[in-house]
Amino acid sequence: MASAASVEEPAAAAAAAAETKRGPSGASFIREHLRSLAPYQPILPFEVLSARLGRKPEDIIKLDANENPYGPPPEVAKALGNLKFPYVYPDPESRQLRAALAEDSGLESEYILAGCGADELIDLIMRCVLEPGDKIVDCPPTFTMYEFDASVNGALVIKDVAQIVKVVEQEKPKCIFLTSPNNPDGSIINDEDLLKILDLPILVVLDEAYIEFSSLQTRMSWVKKHDNLIVLRTFSKRAGLAGLRVGYGAFPLSIIEYLWRAKQPYNVSVAAEVSACAALQNPTYLEEVKNLLLQERDRLYDLLKEIPFLKPFPSHSNFILCEVTSGKDAKKIKEDLAKMGVMIRHYDKKELKGYIRISVGKPEHTDALMKGLKALQLSLAPYQPILPFEVLSARLGRKPEDIIKLDANENPYGPPPEVAKALGNLKFPYVYPDPESRQLRAALAEDSGLESEYILAGCGADELIDLIMRCVLEPGDKIVDCPPTFTMYEFDASVNGALVIKDVAQIVKVVEQEKPKCIFLTSPNNPDGSIINDEDLLKILDLPILVVLDEAYIEFSSLQTRMSWVKKHDNLIVLRTFSKRAGLAGLRVGYGAFPLSIIEYLWRAKQPYNVSVAAEVSACAALQNPTYLEEVKNLLLQERDRLYDLLKEIPFLKPFPSHSNFILCEVTSGKDAKKIKEDLAKMGVMIRHYDKKELKGYIRISVGKPEHTDALMKGLKALQL
C-alpha cells in the first residue's frame, strides 16, 4: 500500500513541471508599440461623477466636455420611443441618415460616410492611410484624439503649426489634422490659409465639429474639387447627441471607396441613425439653441474677464479657453469647483499647462460657475514661509550649524556686536513697549535724514504691507502686482478681500481701465534682483494710484533711497527693513516712510504694541555701528559677484545679474528645479525653488559667506555628475 507521502510527491512534481512549462504572458501577444500606449483620458459621465462627488446628476453642472446642455429636439425622444426594429442589425450604409445629410448640406450622399462619432472616422482614416512609421502633422494645442489615434496606429506625430510648408517638404508626412474652430482655443482657419495647405502634397483632414458656433461656412463641398481634403462633422455639439455617437464626414470619391471597404459594417446604431434624422427634422430648434449658446458665450466671456486670476480668450465655439494667472493653480481651480458641483476642464500638458477650458452652458450654469469662481477668489491659502533652523535641523537630521541657509535672503554675518550687548542689558522686558517706537524712529530719522513724523515702524515690513492694505482697500478693490515679485503682496491682498491684477507690461492701461487702488513695486525686486529707475518711478507716480515701493534690498544696489520723496508725492509709500541690512530677520523690525496725509490713519489703525522692546533696542543698537553694516554689505557684494561667476559655469543653470543679496537662476538642460533643491537639502544646503507659473523651473540662491558658496558649488557639481 502506497504511503501518503508517495502520493503527494508525484503531485508536487507535476505542479512544479506545470510551473516551469508555463507559456508566454498574455501581454507578449500584444503589438509592441501598443504595450507602452497610455489610455485616452475621457471625460466622465454623470453617473460616475455622481458617485464620486456624492451629488445627484441633476445637481452637477457639466462644463467640461463642450456638450450641448439643451439636448436634442423633442422629435428625438419621440423617434427613440417609437423604435420599431431594435433587434435587427442597422443599415451598414446608413442610407436614411446619409440622405438626410445630403439634403441638409447640399452635398450628394455618395460623398458622405457616417460613423460612431467623428472619433471613429478619425481612426478609420488613419487605418486606411497610415503605415506603421508614417508621420502625421498635429497642430497643438488641439484635439488630443489625433495624437492618440496616431499612436494606436503606430504613426509618428510632428507638432509644428508654425512651419507647415517646411515640415511637409522635409518630413514627408502623410496627413495633417486641422480643427476649425479649434478645440481648445476656439480659433478658426480662413479660406486663404486652408487653400495654401491644400496645395501641399498632403492629405488634409479638417475637423468642423464646432463650425455651427462660428461665422464660417462648411467646406464639405470642397471635397469635390480637392482630392486631398476630408471634412469631419458631428451631431454631438449641434444637435445635443453626444451620448448617441453620431459623426459623419465628406470625402473625395477617390478616397471614400477605401473607407467603405475598411469600416466596421454596423458602425452606426439604429438609435443613433433615427436620432440624427429626427434632429435634422427640426432645424428651427437647432438654430434657436445655437443662438442661445452664442448669446451665453458672449456673456460668459465678459464675466470671466472680471475674474482677476483668469485671462479668457475670444472664441468662435461653444467653449472659452482661459489662462490661469495670479499664481493660481489650474488643477486646483478645477478640483475646488468640482467640490461645488461645477465641472470644468484643466490642462497639464506643455502647450496648455496652466489653462482651463469652460464649456458654454445655460445662463443658470454660468451663474453657478461665477459664484464658484468668486468664492475661490476670496479663498485663502496659508502663506508658505521659509523654515527656521530648528525645524530644518529636525527634518534633515543635522545640527543647525551644519545647515547652510541660502533660501531666505538672510544676512549670514548677523547683526553688529552691539545688538547682543543691548539685548543682554534689557532693563524692562516686563513692561509694554513704547507704542510709538520713539527711540527707534528718532534713530531712523538721524540715519535717513527724514523727519520722524514721516516714519512708522512695524513688526517687519510684512506687518506694514498688511496695515496699508487694511487702511486703503475695501473688499473687492483691486491692486496691481508686478510678477515675478514678493508673494506677500498677493497673500495680504487675499487676506483683505482684494483682487490682484498682474500686469507689469501695461501699467498705464491697467490703471485707466481697472481703476486699482494701489500698486506694489519692489526695487531691487525679489526674486530677480532688477531695479526701477527714477524716470520710470516718476511716470507711475503721475498715475492716480497709491504706489508702495518696497526697498528691502536697496543697500545692495547702487540706488539711493526714495524715502524723502514722500514729502513731495502724496501717493508714495516707501518700505524698509532691518532683516537684510542689519541681520535682524529674527527680531522682526521694519519701517516705512509715509506722506503725512496717509500716516495719521495708519497710526490710528495699527496694533498699539507692534514693535517689541527686543526689536527696538536691537535696531537702535545696529544703527550705532554703521561701519560694521557697511563692511558686511561690501563682503556680500563681493561674494555676490563671485557666486554669479561660479554659477555661470554650471551647465544646467542660467544665472541673472542681480542688484541684491541673491541670484535668480533658470534651470535648463531638462533638469528639475524642485529636484535640485531637494538634492541640495540632503547635503545640508538650502535654496529656494519656484513652482508657480511665472517662475516655474527657476531657483533663487541667497548670497552667503565664501564657505557657503564653496559648499553650494560642491553640491551643484555633484549633481552635474
pTM (predicted TM-score)? 0.64
Same domain, 155 and 212: yes
Neighbours of 697 (CB within 10 A): 15
Domain end residue (candidates: 281, 314, 348): 281
- The fraction of the chain above a pLDDT of 70, given in percent, is 96
Domain membership flag for residue 69: no
Domain membership flag for residue 349: yes
So what's the pLDDT on residue 457? 97
d(CA 325, CA 377): 12
The burial class, CB within 10 Å (0-12 / 13-18 / 19+), for 241 is buried
Domain membership flag for residue 15: no
The per-residue pLDDT of the chain, averaged, comes to: 91
Radius of gyration of the chain (CA): 33
Same domain, 423 and 329: no
d(CA 534, CA 593): 17
The predicted model gives 506-513 an average pLDDT of 89
Same domain, 586 and 514: yes
So what's the pLDDT on residue 30? 82
So what's the pLDDT on residue 380? 60
**Extended strands (E) in 160-276:** 175-179, 203-207, 229-234, 247-250
Residues 6+ apart with CB under 8 A from 611: 433, 434, 437, 440, 457, 458, 459, 589
Angle between helices 596-605 and 460-472 (to 10 degrees): 100
* Separation of first and last alpha carbons in the chain: 71
Domain membership flag for residue 35: no
Same domain, 421 and 507: yes
Pure H helices in 145-262 = 145-152, 164-171, 191-198, 253-262
At 224, is the pLDDT very low, low, confident or very high (cuts 50, 70, 90)? very high
**Extended strands (E) in 446-578:** 455-458, 478-481, 499-502, 518-522, 546-550, 572-577
Same domain, 456 and 525: yes
So what's the pLDDT on residue 3? 38
So what's the pLDDT on residue 6? 42
Domain end residue (candidates: 246, 281, 316): 281
d(CA 204, CA 226): 10
So what's the pLDDT on residue 592? 97
Cα distances (Å, whole numbers) of residue 106 to 109, 233, 250, 423: 9, 14, 11, 91
- The fraction of the chain above a pLDDT of 90, given in percent, is 77
At 525-579, the pLDDT tens digits run: 999 999 999 999 999 999 999 999 999 999 999 999 999 999 999 999 999 999 9
Least confident of 1-15, 66-80, 175-189, 484-498: 1-15
Same domain, 365 and 250: no
So what's the pLDDT on residue 4? 38
**Across-strand partners of 283?**
none
Least confident of 204-218, 441-455, 585-599, 683-697: 683-697
So what's the pLDDT on residue 119? 93
For residue 73, whether the previous peptide bond is cis, meaning omega lies within 30 degrees of 0, is no
- In which region does residue 583 sit, left (phi positive, over 0), alpha (psi from -120 to 50) or beta (all else)? left
Domain membership flag for residue 160: yes
Domain end residue (candidates: 604, 624, 644): 624
So what's the pLDDT on residue 21? 54
So what's the pLDDT on residue 404? 94
Same domain, 106 and 214: yes
Domain membership flag for residue 29: no
For residue 45, whether the previous peptide bond is cis, meaning omega lies within 30 degrees of 0, is no
So what's the pLDDT on residue 11? 47
d(CA 39, CA 243): 20
Is the pLDDT at 18 greater than 90? The verdict is no
Handedness of CA 240, 245, 246, 252 (dihedral sign): positive
Handedness of CA 329, 331, 334, 335 (dihedral sign): negative
d(CA 315, CA 281): 29
Write down the residue that cell numbers 475621457 correspond to. Answer: 42
Indicate which CATH number applies to the domain containing 677: 3.90.1150.10
At 334-348, the pLDDT tens digits run: 999 999 999 999 998
Neighbours of 291 (CB within 10 A): 10
Angle between helices 145-152 and 117-129 (to 10 degrees): 40
At 629-652, the pLDDT tens digits run: 999 999 999 999 999 999 999 999
Q: State the cell numbers at 696.
A: 516655474
Write down the residue that cell numbers 475674474 correspond to. Answer: 307
At 169-192, the pLDDT tens digits run: 999 999 999 999 999 999 999 999
Same domain, 353 and 402: no
CA neighbours closer than 13 Å in the CB half-sphere of residue 335: 5
d(CA 338, CA 362): 18
Same domain, 158 and 231: yes
Same domain, 607 and 651: no
The predicted model gives 590-615 an average pLDDT of 93
Indicate which CATH number applies to the domain containing 162: 3.40.640.10
Residue by residue, DSSP assigns 350-364 as GGGTTEEEEE---HH
Same domain, 136 and 260: yes
Domain membership flag for residue 594: yes
Domain membership flag for residue 646: yes
Determine phi and psi for 694, rounding to 5 degrees: -65, -30
Write down the residue that cell numbers 487694511 correspond to. Answer: 470
Least Cα distance to 239 among 423, 460, 69 occurs for: 69
So what's the pLDDT on residue 41? 80
CA neighbours closer than 13 Å in the CB half-sphere of residue 95: 1
So what's the pLDDT on residue 126? 95
Q: Which domain holds residue 123?
A: 74-281
Q: How many domains, the chain?
A: 4
Same domain, 427 and 290: no
Write down the residue that cell numbers 442597422 correspond to. Answer: 90
